[in-house]
Amino acid sequence: MRLEYFEMIDRVAVLDLEAGRIEATSTVPEASPVFEGHFPGHPLVPGVLLTETMAQASGYLVLARDGFGRMPFLMAVDKARFREFVGPGDALRVTAELTHEGSGYVATRAAISVAGRKVADAELRFRTVPFPPGLDARMRREAARIGLPRRP
């Protein structure tokens, strides 16, 4: 996880396209400029970045399922809960499952757990649109970096 570059996912552990489910791992860095302000002497991953982490796991699931046909952009966050503090060195398990595929949008339910305890969860929705120029290749590179399996 590189907070300042918004690289929130380290590795995809499980991808089940048929069930519409992904499981990924990520380790919070020991140090980051983010922690200098959030909070001085008491470093915590901000809730918005935990939301982004869940959104990225969901997004890779959508990309994989759709064969990188369209780009999902976060459009709604419902029922977000941040149940426990998340800080430097924490090993995150991030899960997301598709709950609805609409016309031009998708919905997911995502969660983060640390050592088997749920620390955050939310219901997310994404508008899916044709890729802006150049973003397709960038997303494919990122997907390769985290080991997102290619479609058979």
User: Is residue 38 flagged as an active site residue?
Assistant: yes
Instruction: Tell me the C-alpha distance between 150 and 9, whole Å.
Output: 17
Strand order in the sheet with 71-82: 11-16, 21-27, 91-101, 105-114, 117-129, 71-82
User: For other proteins, which is the closer residue by CB, 40 or 104?
Assistant: 104
From the CB of 92, what's the least distance to other proteins, in Å?
28
Peptide bond just before 39 cis, omega within 30 deg: yes
From the CB of 54, what's the least distance to other proteins, in Å?
18
User: For other proteins, which is the closer residue by CB, 103 or 152?
Assistant: 103
User: For other proteins, which is the closer residue by CB, 38 or 127?
Assistant: 127
From the CB of 99, what's the least distance to other proteins, in Å?
9
From the CB of 10, what's the least distance to other proteins, in Å?
31
| Count, residues in the chain | 152
Residues that bind other proteins (CB under 8 A): 75-76, 100-105, 107, 125, 127
**Choosing from 23, 34, 38, 80, which is the catalytic residue?**
38
Cα–Cα–Cα angle for 75, 78, 80, rounded to 5 degrees: 120
How far from 39 is each of 36, 74, 114, CA to CA, in Å? 6, 26, 20
User: For other proteins, which is the closer residue by CB, 73 or 85?
Assistant: 73
Which residues are catalytically annotated?
38
